[in-house]
A and B are shown apart, each in its own frame.
Chain A
Amino acid sequence: MRAPEAEWLGSLAVSRLQVVSGKGGTGKTTVAAALALALAREGRRTLLVEVEGRQGIAQLFGTEALPYEERKIAVAPGGGEVFALAIDAERALLDYLQMFYKLGSAGRALKKLGAIDFATTIAPGLRDVLLTGKACEAVRRKDKAGRFVYDHVVMDAPPTGRITRFLNVNDEVAGLARFGPIHNQAQAVMSVLKSPQTAVHLVTLLEEMPVQETADGIEELVAAGLPVGRVVVNMVRPHHLDEEALRAAAGERRAEVARALSRAGLGGARRGGLAERLVEPLLTQAAEHAGRVELEREQRGVLEGLGLPTYELPLLGAGMDLAGLYELATELRKQGDEE
């Protein structure tokens, strides 16, 4: 029923678990959702998971808060489906206890005792183990016919500053719990996370701080042996004027600009005329634009130095909505195909 082998999105489609991180404010939830849509091509099925309890996916898709339950939230062009799940650490722990130990009632007793609360909020790393564990379970899950239930799982992950610790916590936990089921569980999760089945993407803007964090984040991921995927440059603005034209406009061609504005019906070009008075503020804005373009060029250079495949997504002027999300998904597919 579904396409057997992926020959699109380049090598990106190889990874069945796609983790999307990025500095706060770079739009990682949006990129994760667009990626889930892009991967749900030709009848494929993807699961989009969030792990920080922010209900960002529900807000993006304009639905009510997601329960702890996988539910379909979007249909991709070509019949693919996107499911979504907000993973809740406490529920994941109770599930886990039930699934592996048949601890239905004991689980409730543990909850009453405060043990579940302890495990999911205070006990070091357990929360993260549960969250990544649940995502890995979805990656490995098969139906009765032995096929994977989801072709891809896309995770809207914690921000760049915490991503390596978040993904690597199983290693630490496996070391801390040297034997026993937690140890085994942590090791099993790590075997998925450190394999080519996983790709960790970092979303950035063409600004200094996010780019610096991206560079630092990649270094940390590599040092921890976690597979780095793509850099996604988000909210890229179009460039309208080169610097030379701008200098000319601000200098010797100022009066010409005023007359052009006037010709376009925006008032008189003479000194004090409406068009003439537009020149100064328009030039100020253009100078700011040029400054930003210059900064962006520098930051692009830094990103190129990282030597990773890069996708670029445009800034959507009207703000983010469902139509914009599909637009970004199309853009990701296109760039994936060209890769």
Chain B
Amino acid sequence: MTAGVSAGMTVSAGMTESTAAPAMDTPPRLAVDALLDDPGTRIIVCCGAGGVGKTTTAAALGVRAAERGRKVVVLTIDPARRLAQSLGIDSLDNTPRQVAGVAGGGELHAMMLDMKRTFDEIVEAHADAERARAILDNPFYQSLSAGFAGTQEYMAMEKLGQLRARDDWDLIVVDTPPSRSALDFLDAPTRLGSFLDGKFIRVLMAPAKVGGRAGMKFLNVGMSMMTGTLSKLMGASLLKDVQTFVAAMDTMFGGFRTRADATYRLLQAPGTAFLVVAAPEADALREAAYFVERLAADRMPLAGLVLNRVHGSGADQLSAERALAAAENLEEGGIVDQESGKAGLRDSDAATPPLAEEPTRADENATVTATATVTVTEPDEGATDEGVTDGITADEITAGLLRLHAERMQVIAREQRNRDRFTSLHPEVAVAEVAALPGDVHDLAGLRAIGVRLATG
């Protein structure tokens, strides 16, 4: 957006200076609509640091894809209340619900992840009633499923696998949990797998099997020392809960790992596209760079970077420094034109209507001129005298406008530096910019507006 504006403005001679650091090699633009329209795109995963607008981006992509004719389901993890309300998914039932008010030929469904319920459902689906009850009643299981670190990540991937298996939708857009370390959701299935493959689980299970015949062969001296230690550490009752849990889950473990592996492979498949979401802040882009590297290492298909809340200015030919100097100039009241040539223009400006200089624009300008000639009672000898109404002078207003502009230009420069750093690390990553909105988004119209920005940014 900024690029377009500044290109247009360079036409005006004499005002070519610009503080925005000269952009480095501009990264390729992310073709969002092409991605959404491609029937080969079956899963879009939005990942990124907390607070960068992941959930909003996922929802906006869902709305746009549906309105462009696709049958979409959006899986959100922990949406802000009003965003959830706007999608009609503020009640938790762990099932996708159709979103009303979506135009066009497609359909939008949305759901919010209920991790405990997802976990319970897996247990119920893979164990007989009696065993399921034993697991669900186990205190260790209840804590585990209530959402300690890692469970949410694992359940999000589990739910994604389920949605994909149902094959009811031709596009799944998934938001990722606000993890402590950004890619926990990638690690969770592997971590579970390595745990299940590990020796530790056999140690845990050994004592539970001591009573039975089969367990004895696992129980050598080293392991009994180990369980002794564990019992000392955890307290006998907790250890027993864990052992009972592990024993009850035993038959399900295979299924867990198979599905975890399948989900992991699904993420690597060609129909999946990862979008790394960031804001143009140093921290968020540092995380984004890390994501890009991690995805590459795991051979996950990256579609590009969505850069939210990018600031621009329609007056970016006016530098922050110059705007501040001009503001100070006006506030001091002693106007000394740095550019002598302007003095003459200024006088003629106040004295004669503009049509004398620019006849072709006279019509458009009529109202402005009329107002000006009414308010301005004398030529600006004393600069601050002009039009003192409402207790604030035009100079004060103008100085305020200039200070605001200087601030905006500083923000733009800072954002550009952060972006340049990312681009220099990963010049190949396509970028979609979303211009900053003045307020929060919590309805379909707002999501639609973001969708437009995503596609055209």
Q: Does A182 contact B (CB under 8 A)?
A: yes
Give A240 to B307 CA distance when docked, in angstroms: 28
Cβ of A178 under 8 Å from chain B? yes
Q: Is A59 an interface residue (CB 8 A)?
A: yes
Q: Residue A180 contacts which of B238, B318, B322, B397 (CB distance < 8 angstroms)?
A: B238
B125 interface residue (CB < 8 Å to A): no
Question: Is A146 at the interface (CB under 8 A from chain B)?
Answer: no
Q: How many B residues have CB within 8 A of the partner chain?
A: 110
The answer to whether A177 touches B408 (Cβ under 8 A) is: no
Q: Bound state CA distance, A106 and B15, in angstroms?
A: 73
B81 lies within 8 A of chain A by Cβ: yes
Q: Is A77 an interface residue (CB 8 A)?
A: no
Give a binary string over B378-397; 1 marks a CB under 8 Å from any A CB, 0 the rest: 00100100110110101111
Q: Does A282 contact B (CB under 8 A)?
A: yes
Most central of B14, B282, B284, B368 by chain A CB within 10 Å: B368
Q: Which residues of B contact A253 (CB under 8 A)?
A: 371, 375, 387, 389, 394, 397
Beta-carbon contact of B236 and A180 below 8 Å? yes
Q: Which residues of A contact B387 (CB under 8 A)?
A: 253, 256
B314-A281 in contact (CB<8A):
yes
Contact among A113, A249, A267 for B401, CB-based, below 8 A: A249
Shortest C-beta distance, B362 to chain A (Å), equals 8
- B194 part of interface (Cβ distance < 8 Å): yes
Contact digits for A286-306, partner B, Cβ 8 Å, 1 yes 0 no: 101101100100000000000
How many Å lie between the Cα of A240 and that of B369 in the bound state?
Answer: 27
Q: For the complex, is B27 an interface residue (Cβ under 8 Å from A)?
A: no
Docked-complex contact A240 and B404, CB < 8 angstroms:
yes
Query: Within the assembled complex, what's the spacing in Å between the Cα atoms of A175 and B142?
Result: 12
Contact in complex: A110, B229 (CB < 8 Å): yes
**B327-356: which residues lie under 8 A (CB-CB) from chain A?**
327, 329-330, 335, 337-339, 342, 345-346, 349-350, 354
| A65 close to B (CB within 8 Å) | no
CB distance from B196 to the nearest CB of A (A): 10
Q: A114-B200, A269-B349 are in contact. Are A53 and B181 (CB under 8 A)?
A: yes
Is A172's CB within 8 Å of the partner chain B? yes
Inter-chain contacts of B151 with A (CB < 8 A):
124
Q: B438 within 8 Å of A by Cβ?
A: yes
Task: Let me know if A124 and B404 touch, CB within 8 A.
Answer: no
Contacts of B15 in A (CB 8 A): 266-267, 274
Selected from A53, A115, A210, A281, the residue in CB contact (under 8 A) with B200 is A115
Q: A262: which B residues are within 8 A, CB to CB?
A: 342, 345-346, 349
Residues in A neighbouring B339, C-beta threshold 8 A: 265
Q: B241 to A176, Cβ gap below 8 A? A: yes
The CA of A240 and the CA of B401, in the complex, are separated in Å by: 8
Contact of A317 with B by CB under 8 A:
yes
Q: C-beta contact mask, A221-257 vs B, less than 8 Å → 1, else 0?
A: 0000000000000000110110011101100111111
Give the segment of B46-54, B57-65, B87-95, B159-167 that binds chain A. Answer: B46-54
Determine if B50 and A159 form an interchain contact, defined as CB atoms under 8 angstroms apart: yes
Question: Which residues of A have CB within 8 Å of B442?
Answer: 208
Q: Please give the residue numbers on chain B whose beta carbons come within 8 Å of chain A beta carbons, in ascending order.
A: 12, 14-15, 49-52, 78, 80-82, 139-140, 143-144, 146-151, 178, 180-181, 191-192, 194-195, 198-200, 203, 222, 225-226, 229-230, 232-238, 241-242, 279, 281-284, 286, 313-315, 318, 322, 326-327, 329-330, 335, 337-339, 342, 345-346, 349-350, 354, 357-358, 361, 364-365, 368-369, 371-372, 375-376, 380, 383, 386-387, 389-390, 392, 394-398, 400-405, 407-408, 410-411, 414, 417, 438-440, 442
Besides A240-B404, A286-B404, 10 more A-B contacts (Cβ < 8 Å) are: A121-B150, A161-B78, A165-B148, A266-B318, A271-B365, A283-B401, A284-B314, A285-B315, A289-B404, A295-B439
Pairs across A and B, CB under 8 Å, 5 listed:
A117-B200, A180-B232, A182-B233, A260-B386, A292-B439
